[in-house]
């Protein structure tokens, strides 16, 4: 029976490609970028490491694939933000911050990649950071056209600071479960952070923030 069903073939390139990609994610999540190598990934994927070189061109190509996935996930998350309902600049920023917090918190691969960027400066990590910046800034410039930018305020800097806080808090929570004495484990902790970020965004932009 030479013509077997593609589903239960023992030799299926696309299947092993998926297995390698999944293993690449799993190893990155479990061991971090320090333990992210061909041997560990091949072991986790249950195949020979040679296939990583054949199908992805080695670690670099595999990392690129993860970066592409990450950028796509950010775009997807931002696309779900209900922009038309936001009528002030502060509300828009608060929504963006909220989306960023949400997607990053549920995305351990992105968390590891960000920690990677912060630890090693090379072409790969620079490409990671650029992809995320582009996804964020692209969405924002595309959306802010509808809403007036407050005058006399350094909006890009404030937005960068808020995004930076989100990143640091989420990455720190994954590593040690808290930050500067503020616990980051229970859902209530995250709600507290969410409210704080919203408060800051509104206080920075909208003259009178609504009572909470």
Q: Reduced to 3 DSSP states, what percent helix, strand and coil does the chain have, rounded to the nearest 5?
A: 75, 0, 25
3-class SS of residue 205: helix
123 binding DNA? (CB under 7 A): no
122 binding DNA? (CB under 7 A): no
163 binding a second copy? (CB under 8 A): yes
- Binding partner of residue 181 among DNA, a second copy, none, CB cut-off 5 to 8 Å per kind: a second copy
58 binding a second copy? (CB under 8 A): no
39 binding a second copy? (CB under 8 A): no
126 binding DNA? (CB under 7 A): no
Residue 159 CA to residue 114 CA, distance in Å, equals 18
Residue 109 CA to residue 26 CA, distance in Å, equals 8
3-class SS of residue 122: coil
**20-41 residues labelled b (16+ CB within 10 A) or e (exposed):** bbebbbbbbeeeebeebebebb
Residue 182 belongs to what H/E stretch? strand 182-183
Task: Report CA Rg, the chain.
Answer: 21
The answer to whether the CB of 20 falls within 8 A of the CB of 38 is no
- Binding partner of residue 72 among DNA, a second copy, none, CB cut-off 5 to 8 Å per kind: none
169 binding a second copy? (CB under 8 A): yes
Q: Which of residues 21-60 bind DNA (CB under 7 A)?
A: 35-40, 47-51, 53-54, 58-59
Which residues lie near a second copy (CB under 8 A)?
32-34, 115-121, 125-126, 129, 133, 136-137, 153-154, 156-165, 167-169, 171-172, 174-176, 179-182, 192-193, 195-197, 199-200, 203-204
Which residues lie near DNA (CB under 7 A)?
2-4, 6, 9-13, 15-16, 35-40, 47-51, 53-54, 58-59
């Amino acid at each position: 029976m030479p013509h077997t069903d593609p589903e239960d073939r023992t030799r299926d390139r696309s299947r092993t490609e998926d297995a390698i990609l999944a293993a690449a994610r799993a190893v990155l999540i479990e061991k971090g970028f320090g333990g992210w190598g061909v041997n560990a990934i091949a072991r986790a994927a249950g195949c020979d490491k040679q296939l990583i070189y054949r199908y992805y061109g080695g670690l670099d190509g595999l990392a690129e694939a993860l970066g592409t996935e990450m950028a796509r996930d950010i775009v997807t998350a931002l696309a779900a933000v209900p922009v038309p309902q936001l009528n002030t600049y502060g509300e828009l920023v608060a929504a963006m911050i909220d989306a960023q917090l949400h997607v990053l918190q549920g995305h351990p691969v992105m968390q590891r990649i960000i920690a990677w960027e912060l630890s090693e400066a090379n072409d790969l990590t620079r490409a990671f950071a650029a992809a995320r910046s582009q996804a964020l800034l692209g969405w924002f410039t595309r959306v802010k056209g509808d809403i007036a930018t407050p005058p006399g305020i350094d909006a890009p800097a404030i937005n960068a600071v808020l995004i930076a806080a989100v990143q640091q808090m989420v990455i720190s929570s994954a590593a040690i479960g808290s930050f500067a004495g503020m616990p980051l484990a229970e859902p209530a902790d995250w709600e507290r952070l969410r409210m704080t970020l919203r408060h800051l965004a509104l206080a920075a932009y909208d003259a009178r923030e609504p009572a909470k």
